[in-house]
Every structure is written in C-alpha cells, then in structure tokens.
Amino acid sequence: MITTGIHGARNALSVGVLGTGSYVPAHVVSNDEVGAPAGVDHEWIFGKTGIRNRRWAKPDEATSDLAVIAGRAALEAAGVRAPELSLIVVATSTPDQPQPPTAAVVAAELGADHGTAAFDVNGVCTGFLFALTSATSMLEAAGGGHALVIGADVYSRILNPADRRTTILFGDGAGAVVLGPAAGADRGVVANRLASYAADRHLIEVPGGGSRIPATAATLAEGLQYFTMNGRGVRDFVADNVPPAIHEFLAAQNLTTADITHFVPHQANGRMLEMLSDGLGLPLDRTWTTYEEFGNTGSASVPLTLDHAARSGRLAPGDLVLLAGFGGGMALGLSLVRW
C-alpha cells in the first residue's frame, strides 16, 4: 500500500487541480440496442445496473482521440498551454496500440512534443487514481511544474456482445485534470492512497493478446481477446474492502465521511454505488454520478464525473472532495482534495 501526504508535514509545494475536462463520443447506445445480442432488454439492464445509455466510439475514433479532446478542455479551463506541461500521464487499459504509449500520441496532438514527459499507466478502472498520485508526487518532488492527467478508455472494442455480464455496463469516454501549484497552502491534493489485492487479479481480465497468450486465429476464435469479469466476486471485493479502506484513509486525517463535501467514486454501476454509499454511511446527495447516461467508462469515470461536478458550479473553494477508484488488479485508489 502506498500512502502520500498523510503522515508528517505537507510538502512545501501544494499541488492542486487547476482545471478539468471531459469528452464522450456522440453515438448514444441504448439499453435495447446493447442488450439485444445478449438476450436482455432495457428493463432488465436498468433494474440490474441503473444504466440507461452509454456512448461508444465511432470506428475511426481511438482512445487518444477522446483523450486529446478531454485534455484540451482541461488545459483551457486551467489557462495552461500544452508546451508548459512537465508531464502528460494517460491512464488507460485500452491503448491505441501496444507501442508507443498513448500519452505520446496525445502529447504530439496537443503540441507538447518537445521535452514533456509522456507515459501511460494501466490500473484498469483505478488507473486515473494511480496516474493522479504519480503526477502529484512527481510535481512535489520537482518543486513545481504542471501535469495533464487523463483517464481514457474505449471498452466497446473489447466487449463480447453476447456476454450480458459485461457488454451492458461499459461506455467509452475520457476525463482530464491539470495539476499545478495550488491557490493556497491549505488547498490542493491533501492525501493519496493506492493499494493492490493481487490475489484477486483474475476477477477482471482480458486473457489473450499479451505475451502469455499472443493473439492467434485460435485465440480469437475462442474469444480470449474479450474483457471478462466475475461480477459477484467484484461486488464482494468492493463491499469487503472499499468502505474500510476509505474510513481508515479519512481517519488518518482526523476526518470522517461526515466531513466530505463531495464524493466522486468510480462509476461501476448504480446498484454498486448504492451499496457503497450504504457501507460508508455517506448520503447519495453528496455522491456525484454519471453512470446513468454514460455507463462505466473505466479509467475515465472518476475524472469525467469530476469534470461534470466542477462545471456544475457546485464545488466551492475549501470543499473536501474524495475521489475513489476500484477495479481490475484488483486495486483501490483514493485521493482527498481541498478544492
């Protein structure tokens, strides 16, 4: 488990969120459309998940295309130019291609292609929190600079249309934040915590296409290129691990969930978020959601939802914002931000 910003004095540099951005593809996919190949309808999907629609990328749209638009919006909101960036970190488990990193494509498209460090992080649905923690720590260590942190995924490319456990859940999208010197010493990223539970790694996986099971005609025929998930196992993992970890994380700051102004969790699905809210004792009216119209957008879900919250005008200076990611690995990521 990695924890930053909790024990001891804060670093001299306070890193804050200077701007946010997001993007979802134009194509709306209804429950009836996605459910037909899986043998389920709108009522079944909505009852199980609370999801009504999701957005899927066009055939000519890749993860980097979504990431660039979200990143550009965050830069505009922050008033930062792309060449001023020290870092571009893209969290994704659906990269454009195995090499180069998708972040390099994003850097080139944004015009940050002369010296800005650009790299990817694969933490599946927790990826954005891993990327945010990494970028925050690097800026603190450097004593300044700006970072663009993006979560982006195109899960529609790795879903088995006939698997009702997975194909109904996921949408495509991207969310981004620009990090830099906070407006004041009492503002910015207060603390981060990352943890992996590797014994449960098989709950979520794409078996084929890597170095262990390279893609062949046989593996494609077997469907090993598709995303798979043990839904019951994931639900149990979240129920058993996420609420205790959040309570412990907040207690280390002498806080409880009552002190949290805004909760921005991974948008796994509506029923799981209701369960999580009950386990935390955190009212749903303080929980931001986007799953109903966008589904589970993987590593994009936390920053996409944060952008919607930020642009609503309801996040006020000094508000405590808790970000929580959880998913494949299995993994958990938490970040506490003083807005």
125 is catalytic: yes
Give the C-alpha separation, 272 to 163, whole Å. 19
Burial grade of 308 (CB within 10 A; 0-12, 13-18, 19 or more)? middle
Q: Which residue out of 31, 125, 262, 269 is catalytically annotated?
A: 125
Q: Which residue out of 31, 262, 266, 269 is catalytically annotated?
A: 266
Cα end-to-end distance, the chain, whole Å: 25
Q: From 167, 112, 184, 127, select the one nearest 302 (Cα to Cα).
A: 127
How many alpha carbons lie under 13 Å from residue 92 in its C-beta half-sphere? Answer: 33
Residues 37, 39, 43, 47, CA torsion sign: negative
Tokens coding 114: 């002369």
The length of the chain, given as a count of residues: 339
Tokens coding 270: 């509506």
3-state class (DSSP) for residue 83: helix
Please state, in angstroms and as integers, the Cα–Cα distance from residue 292 to each residue in 21, 156, 176, 321, following that order.
19, 17, 20, 21
31 is catalytic: no
Non-local CB neighbours of 306 within 8 Å, separated by 6+ positions: 17, 20, 175, 177, 264, 288, 321, 323
3-state class (DSSP) for residue 43: helix
- DSSP code for 126: G
Cβ atoms 189, 59 nearer than 8 A: no
Q: Which residue out of 31, 192, 269, 296 is catalytically annotated?
A: 296
241 is catalytic: no
Mind spelling out the 3-state secondary structure of 180-239?
EECCCCCCEEEEEEEEECHHHHHHEECCCCCCCCCCCHHHHHHCCCCCEECHHHHHHHHH
3-state class (DSSP) for residue 151: strand
Q: Which residues are catalytic?
A: 125, 266, 296
